[in-house]
Amino acid sequence: MKHRLFVALGLIIAFLALGFLYIRETPHYSFYMLVLAIQRHDPDEAMKYIDIDSIADNLSTLLLGGTAADGTDKNGKKPSSLKTIIGKALPGMKESIRSSLHDAIASHNDDHRGSDSHAIEISNLDLKKIQQTSFRDLSVQRNKKTAFIRLKNLPGLKARMVKTRSGHWQIVEILPEAG
């Protein structure tokens, strides 16, 4: 009788461990860890789940109308002066976005009455709204190593996540949707 009890207990523990290992590798879990890091004001942990370089590259490509981040055209045409300026400013913009996001997450200013100097908004993506997100607020469409996440409390916005080599997921693109 004791032998069956130990076997059953061992199987239950094994299934729970396997379930946890599976869940840890989902976009839901990575987004949950991002939300926890924002709530704890831990920017170093949060930045594991956000790829600022990819987000800035995708935003600059959108801004430049489908040209590369360095300003060169797909056909090799000479870039316009605006595209050249944006291409040269991109590394500085990435660092500025990174430091602004870092400061906003690290900020302990939870006063919702006034405007806050560390508010980060990209399109209608707001850190305070992400901070209040739960699993019930997520809608995830997953294809092997890519996932699109929509937040119910932020309509008209979705984020593209990719799976990293370490097994967690990172946000690499923020996509406004036509509503």
DSSP string, 101-123: HHHHHH------SS--TT--EET
Q: Which of 35-39, 93-97, 135-139 has the lowest mean pLDDT?
A: 135-139
pLDDT digits (tens, 9 = 90+) for 138-155: 778 888 788 888 877 666
Please indicate, yes or no, if residue 84 is contained in any of the structural domains: yes
Please indicate, yes or no, if residue 43 is contained in any of the structural domains: yes
At residue 13, the pLDDT reads 92
The model carries a pTM of 0.68
Please indicate, yes or no, if residue 103 is contained in any of the structural domains: yes
CB 122 within 8 A of CB 130: no
For the ranges 67-76, 81-90, 109-118, the maximum mean pLDDT occurs at: 81-90
Please indicate, yes or no, if residue 48 is contained in any of the structural domains: yes
| 53: exposed, middle or buried (Cβ count in 10 Å: 0-12, 13-18, 19+) | middle
* Mean pLDDT of the region 83-91: 74
Give the Cα separation of 59 and 57 in Å (integer). 5
Please indicate, yes or no, if residue 132 is contained in any of the structural domains: yes
Please indicate, yes or no, if residue 134 is contained in any of the structural domains: yes
* CA dihedral sign of residues 157, 111, 137, 141: positive
Residue listed under structure tokens 């991002």: 34
Please indicate, yes or no, if residue 72 is contained in any of the structural domains: yes
Give the Cα separation of 132 and 35 in Å (integer). 8
Please indicate, yes or no, if residue 12 is contained in any of the structural domains: no
Q: How many domains does the chain have?
A: 1
List the domain range (segments joined by +) for residue 126: 27-176
At residue 12, the pLDDT reads 92
Phi, psi (rounded to 5 degrees) for 27? -65, -30
Report the residue count for the chain. Answer: 179
Q: Residue 167 gets which letter from DSSP? A: S
